[in-house]
């Protein structure tokens, strides 16, 4: 959706190394934002994005406006089933209908051989892989590791909206996930205890006003697990004032 950072650019660089032609789409998709969310406040800097993409060897940048993607009379939507109703889908009803629909449209327009996504949006990667598989799109979905700041905060376009105090507090998100991972790595397989360890660390940071969820889920179905096993996704979503941050780690 633009406001590019090193996480996005790691996807471009990998695509550049894999492919003869690299295309990037930039589109802040209104249909994945709910009422009262930050569509109008979402960071946008197209000139800076284009300069970065040129520097990283992008061949084509597709920058449609809303009317191109959703012309008058548009009324066809993609529903990927129950995985879209969990975690982010429960916290943001309709979010993944918007995501799946716009990704399906972008795939149809650009017709890539491979599409690159970051693990930072963990549930989105599951949704997109299911979309491509269920609809026989013939597209390889490549998921690359989350790129982080020096204190562990996952890079996100929304991070630029954090004030200095909030930015310091935001480091607690990865610190909490690490606490859960450390407990699991020490031999604790009870998923409820892993969740409690994460939540305890989050609640120790007073600026994290709301914790939407702490999850230990199957990497395929995103159903909550009783036992935390290898490959499970440990994830959380929190609010810092008006800014909502998500993060996850794969338990391995």
Give the residue numbers marked as catalytic: 8
Contact 104, 78 (CB under 8 A): yes
Closest CA to 106 of 142, 40, 170, 62: 62
**Distance, CA of 144 to CA of 179 (rounded, Å):** 23
**Distance, CA of 158 to CA of 194 (rounded, Å):** 27
CB atoms within 10 A of CB 176: 27
Beta-strand runs (E) in 11-121 = 23-25, 60-62, 114-118
**Distance, CA of 175 to CA of 235 (rounded, Å):** 12
Contact 202, 173 (CB under 8 A): yes
CB atoms within 10 A of CB 220: 12
**Cα dihedral 209, 87, 45, 154 in deg (nearest 10):** 70
User: Mutual orientation of helices 164-185 and 191-203 as an angle, nearest 10°?
Assistant: 160
Contact 236, 248 (CB under 8 A): yes
């Amino acid at each position: 959706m633009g406001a590019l950072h090193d996480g996005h650019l790691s996807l471009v660089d990998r695509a550049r190394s894999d492919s003869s032609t690299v295309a990037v789409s930039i589109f802040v998709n209104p249909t994945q934002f709910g009422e009262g969310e930050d569509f109008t406040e979402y960071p946008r800097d197209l000139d800076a994005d284009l300069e970065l993409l040129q520097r990283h060897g992008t061949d084509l940048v597709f920058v449609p406006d809303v009317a191109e993607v959703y012309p008058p009379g548009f009324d066809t939507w993609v529903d990927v089933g129950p995985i879209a109703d969990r975690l982010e889908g429960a916290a943001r009803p309709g979010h993944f209908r918007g995501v799946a629909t716009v990704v399906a449209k972008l795939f149809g327009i650009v017709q890539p051989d491979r599409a690159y996504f970051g693990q930072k949006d963990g549930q989105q990667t599951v949704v997109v892989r299911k979309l491509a598989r269920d609809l026989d799109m013939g597209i390889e979905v490549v998921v690359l590791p989350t790129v982080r700041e020096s204190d562990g905060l996952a890079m996100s376009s929304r991070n630029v909206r954090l004030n200095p105090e909030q930015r310091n507090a935001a480091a607690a998100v990865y610190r909490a996930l690490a606490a859960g991972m450390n407990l699991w790595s020490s031999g604790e397989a009870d998923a409820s205890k892993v969740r409690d360890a994460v939540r305890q660390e989050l609640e120790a940071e007073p600026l994290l006003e709301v914790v939407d969820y702490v999850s230990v889920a199957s990497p395929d179905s995103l159903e909550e697990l009783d036992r935390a096993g290898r490959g499970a996704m440990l994830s959380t979503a929190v609010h810092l004032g008006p800014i909502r941050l998500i993060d996850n780690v794969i338990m391995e």
